[in-house]
Chains A and B, each alone.
Chain A
Amino acid sequence: MTDGGSVTRSVLSDFEKKREHVIAILQRLQQEKRYLAEDDIEDIARHLDMSANEVYGVATFYTGFKFHPPGEHHIAVCMGTACHVKASDELLDVVKNELGITPGETSSDGMFSLDRVACLGCCALSPVVTIDGEVHGRMTPSKLLDLLRGLEENHG
């Protein structure tokens, strides 16, 4: 077992050694460690008697899995239909311009990361942005800018 193995070990011990659990294991591990490192993939592969390549193949098929550490604050801009017709791309631009990162990236100081999501299912509140999992509905570029600047100020 590789470094940081105790978390991995305890997660793996919760699951039967069956291939059908691979997605559930990846999800639990990511929940515990925030992202999946190369070692994690290898540990899972060993546990399920699969090749690391197979596990990685499954993991990369699904957009839910992250292979880089996310920022301290994670921002997700909803790009669903209802949000799109209410100009959610302008919100994405606000984040991009203010923080200098594009979707999938983490800022160099590790403070912010940005994602675009397909639909959060809060369409009646569109356009929607989530910051650290909290849903902010009926966003406008200026409201979003205020929120971002607030977070930046908190970190001096």
Chain B
Amino acid sequence: MAEHTVLVCTGTGCSSSHAPQIYEAFEKAIDERGLAVTVKKTGCHGFCQRGPIVVVEPEDILYCEVTVDDVPDIVTMHLAQGTPVERLFYRETDDSEPIPHYHDIPFYGNQHRIILRNCGQIDPEDIDDYLEADGYRGLEKALGMTPDEVIEEIKASGLRGRGGAGFPTGRKWRFCRDANGEPKYMICNADEGDPGAFMDRSILEADPHSVIEGLAIAAYAIGARHGYIYVREEYPLAIHRFTIARDQARERGYLGDDILGSGFSFDIEIKKGAGAFVCGEETALMASIEGKRGMPRPRPPYPAQQGVHGKPTTINNVKTLATVPAIMARGAEWYASIGSERSTGTAVFALTGKTANSGLVEVPMGTPLRSIIYDIGGGVPYGKELKAVQTGGPSGGCIPAHLADLTFDYESLVQDVYVPANYVDLPIDYETLARVGSIMGSGGMVVMDDDTCMVDVAHFFLSFTQYESCGKCPTCRIGTKKMMDLLAKIKAGRGEMSDINLLEELAITVKNGSLCGLGQTAPNPVLTTLRYFREEYVAHIRDRRCPARVCKELIWYEIDPEACIGCGKCASNCSADAITGEAKQPHVIDASKCIKCGMCFKVCPTGAVKKQTNLPGGGA
């Protein structure tokens, strides 16, 4: 029997479901039986929803939702006797056929992993694992070339910044290389603040060396000796693993003086963010590195001319940098052959919200949205209908279900042009998303079903951007607040039809009058929901009705006396004492006391508690 390796995912998701204890249980059980098995902690496999995940090599068996109690079975049956434990295999639904092999699972089988190539495959705290996976080969190759040749290689690959805006990476490096001024700085932007996006965190937790290698290659190309990584404080595990990786890279001579005897020297300083979303914007990020309030400034001068400490600087996203070593090792031609014509390579999405499978998904640019949601995500569960997909986080927009055949690339998401009637064949890339009024952004993809109120979603994002606005530009500081107030008014059933026009007017003003990306894109969620879901706004205003039954002021709870079995669960869970009734008799909600927390609705075993809203036309 081949020697086994057990890979236990210890990313943030699986760790919260006791993955570290599972790892320990494996070590103990294997030790006790004296088996020749290697147990490794890996980073995120991207399938957080079915975690904790355990993979056994060489058979490529994936176990989901493993608990400490399952460990003895896996050790005895699989590792000792060679019979995998079927009850822990992945199943699409409870009664579908189990799928034993990792790569046969549709969630993985339909992906194309370049950026996430090592995630879940290697121990992020062991540089030898990374080296075995061809790590630092890209750097070795780059150091054998001139910096200009490296830049040309990246240009030829067509790589564009994966932070959201999609600027060509090779050109960015060229600007900085050609800029006057010393020293130059290389920065990795790991200030992943978009709610709903967690790919940068997962990469740093699962494959930190790929980012270090990317930083070193970029630094060599632009001529920088000093690098920074600016990473969110909210990601302690990512910081921990990156620090370990950096120290190991120093020990092995991949960082520090005279790297691999090339004469090139480079090192990385870790800067922790302190909870300001706007610091993801490059000029704000640089201000924060300098120990200032993280407020953006006008560009030009661009960072390539005057960046951190006033010196030429390049800032790249985590995903961009993690891609660079792969391009250097395998060649620009290989990379350029993947993806769509204008957007080469792959994109990573954090697929979350109302899908059967959620997690990190990497697909070639140009993959239709529908394929991401249905083939990989397994569609919308509980028989609900897909209503919209939100991409690009607070800067992005909501794409309605009828555009789901859209393919993703940079341009599709950005130009503010109406989509032609024949949406179905559009691919997802930067260009497509632009056309429908959303953006690729950092790759958050939140799936929404009929239970999602689009006015509420717009309000949610506005409340986020309004809170995170640094306050420098009045249009952003005051405009987002005014827009949020209008949305709150509509949500509360106090809106007027003229508010819709006012919202649109404000949105355009905020877009045009703000300095940085935060303000310029903050109105996108409002503009796209108004474009595609205007009737929902009208329902809230004219009929005082929330069709998705989300907005508290427009809904009420009732108990259907026919369906109520009088179990009393609702009454005992009601924190407002608003529910009364005799045992085994129908219960009643006192509307004057009800705080609409929804607890009764959630705990009712028979579905007798109903959420109500006005009927179309306005009547109850």
Contact = CB atoms under 8 A, between A and B. Distances in A.
B593 to A, nearest CB: 13
Main SS at interface, chain A: helix
B453 to A, nearest CB: 10
A112 to B, nearest CB: 16
B234 A124 contact: no
B17 A137 contact: yes
A119 interface: yes
Given A19-B291, A122-B198, A141-B602, A97 B575 contact: yes
B597 A61 contact: no
Given A22-B291, A64-B233, A81 B460 contact: yes
A119 B595 contact: no
B48 interface: yes
Nearest to A97: B575
B233 A124 contact: no
B193 to A, nearest CB: 7
A118 interface: yes
Of A65, A121, A145, the most chain B CB neighbours within 10 A belong to A121
A135 interface: yes
Interface in A64-91: 64-65, 79-87, 90
Given A123-B350, A142-B602, A64 B195 contact: no
A91 B182 CA distance: 52
A153 interface: no
Contact of B448 (A85, A125, A136): A85
B291 A121 contact: no
Nearest to B200: A121
A144 B28 CA distance: 33
A120 interface: yes
Nearest to B288: A23
Contact of A81 (B201, B276, B444, B602): B444
A119 B193 CA distance: 7
Contact of A21 (B197, B291, B452, B575): B291
Contacts of A24: 271-272
Nearest to A136: B16
Nearest to B17: A137
Given A118-B195, A118-B277, A120-B234, A85 B446 contact: yes
B55 to A, nearest CB: 17
B16 A82 contact: no
A119 B460 CA distance: 13
Contact of B48 (A57, A122, A136, A142): A122
A53 to B, nearest CB: 12
B573 interface: yes
Interface string A11-39: 00000001111111011000000000000
A107 interface: no
Interface string B457-487: 1001100100010100000000000000000
Contacts of A142: 573, 599, 602-603
A18 B290 CA distance: 9
Contacts of A98: 575
Contact of A141 (B196, B292, B293, B598): B598
A151 interface: no
Of A24, A65, A134, A141, the most chain B CB neighbours within 10 A belong to A141
Contacts of B293: 57-58, 61
Contact of A27 (B16, B274, B358): B274
Interface string B581-606: 00000000000000101110011000
A53 B269 CA distance: 27
Nearest to A120: B234
B193 A118 contact: yes
Nearest to A135: B16
B354 interface: yes
B427 interface: no
Nearest to B232: A121
A61 B287 CA distance: 12
Contacts of A90: 597-599, 602
Contacts of B277: 118
B13 A125 contact: yes
A27 B245 CA distance: 22
B597 A121 contact: no
A120 to B, nearest CB: 7
Contacts of A134: 16
B358 A124 contact: yes
A93 interface: yes
A121 B192 contact: yes
A126 B352 contact: yes
Interface string A125-156: 11000000011110011100100000000000
A123 B390 CA distance: 14
Nearest to B463: A79
Of A20, A27, A80, A119, the most chain B CB neighbours within 10 A belong to A119
Contacts of B27: none
A137 B13 contact: yes
A79 B354 CA distance: 16
A81 B354 CA distance: 11
Of A57, A98, A136, A142, the most chain B CB neighbours within 10 A belong to A142
A63 B352 contact: no
B352 A118 contact: no
B194 interface: yes
A20 B49 contact: no
Interface in B409-459: 444, 446, 448, 452, 457
B274 A117 contact: no
B185 interface: no
B5 interface: no
Nearest to B456: A84
9 contacts: A19-B291, A22-B291, A58-B291, A62-B275, A63-B274, A84-B460, A93-B597, A94-B597, A122-B13
Interface of B: 12-13, 15-17, 47-49, 51, 192-198, 201-202, 233-235, 271-277, 288-295, 350, 352-354, 358-359, 390, 393, 444, 446, 448, 452, 457, 460-461, 464, 468, 470, 573, 575-576, 595, 597-599, 602-603
Rank and list the top 4 A-B pairs by shortest CB-CB distance, nearest first.
A80-B195, A124-B48, A135-B16, A62-B274
